[in-house]
Structure 1
Amino acid sequence: MDDLDLIDRKIVATLMADATLPVAQIADKVGLSQTPCWKRIQKLEAAGVLTGRVALADPGRLGFDLTVFVGIEAPDHSEEWREIFGRAVASLPQIMEVYRMAGEMDYLLRVSVQDMAAFDALYKQLTNAVAIKNVTSHFAMERMKFTTAYPVDTRTR
């Protein structure tokens, strides 16, 4: 992030807030004309700073009323197990995020499902696909804050 100048950071922050804005509005917000702004957006995409543009949806309105954070303890840390685990979690679209962790658990998953029966089915699919030493599930009762926008510094330094 250190190699991004103030205008790049403002472009990124603007797109994270609303990726549907036309280039003309983004350019106006960051103090550029359209063409240089568009070129910077393309450069940010090519550099992997911007990795995609998506629409965010309310999970409850789509029937995904249960969010579960699942801690996984691996039976071993071999490359073979990691590959099998990686394929298993990639094949299950209900698993929204996967993090390899340091500490008590080896992996943390964020899962979105319709209900407890759907979570039980997912649990069975996952544990049938890969050996797991221990699974700990934490059920979210309420989503109090959610954002996909990182707190990019858009102030001059």
Structure 2
Amino acid sequence: MDKKDKIILHALQENATLSVQELADKASLSPTACWKRIQKLQQEGVISKQVCVLDRKKLGVPVTVFVAIRTQSHTPEWLEQFASGVIDIPEVVEVYRMSGDIDYLLKVVAPDIEGFDQIYKRLIRTAHMYDVSSSFSMEELKCTTALPLTYC
């Protein structure tokens, strides 16, 4: 990956609706050369997909909750049951298996506290959990989908 690829990726992370011509101009390439680079980055999996980032407040889910889960069962069967359950809850937008004291960390969006309670009740039906702890975000200081390009 060279400097021109990074320019293209940086621009796409900021605005994936840019035309090939606009991207080519930013990277000082011809549109054909730029398009070939984009195709190569897609084929290599560097660009995994292009999406729209929506405003969660305007869509009625302004509350962000981080849910820490501990389990006493670490079997593949438990994980499969838990994973398939949380995948089916659209308000659960991120799920991580963790090291340390917490086994899983979830990021959940909700309309309000009462709405989160309904989500919580669906969540605890997915699989047996030893401990579930929820923390409500008071303020979002940074939220981005852009990845740093300095390490590639």
Deviation at 1:88, TM superposition (A): 0.6
Alpha-carbon RMSD: 1.3
**Runs of 4 or more above 4 Å deviation:** none
Stretches of structure 2 lacking an aligned partner (at least 5 in a row): none
Counterpart position of 2:34: 37
Deviations 1:35-85 (A, max 9, x none): 111111111112111111111122111111210011111221111011111
- Quick one: which of 135, 139, 149 aligns to 1:138? 135
User: Which structure is higher in RCO with an 8 Å CA cutoff and minimum separation 6?
Assistant: 1
Gapped regions of structure 1 (runs ≥ 5)? none
Confirm whether residue 61 of structure 1 aligns to residue 58 of structure 2. yes
Give per-residue Cα distances to partners, 1:20-41, cap 9 Å, x unaligned: 1101010111121101111111
Match of 2:147 in 1: 150
TM-score, normalising length from structure 2? 0.94
Q: How do 1:59-138 and structure 2 match up within 5 A?
A: 59-138=56-135
Paired residue type of 1:8 = D
The CA deviation at 1:136 is 1.1
Q: Letter of the aligned partner of 1:135 in structure 2? A: V
Mapped partners of 2:22, 2:14: distance in 1? 13
Tell me, yes or no, if the aligned pair for 2:86 and 2:126 is still in contact at 8 Å. no
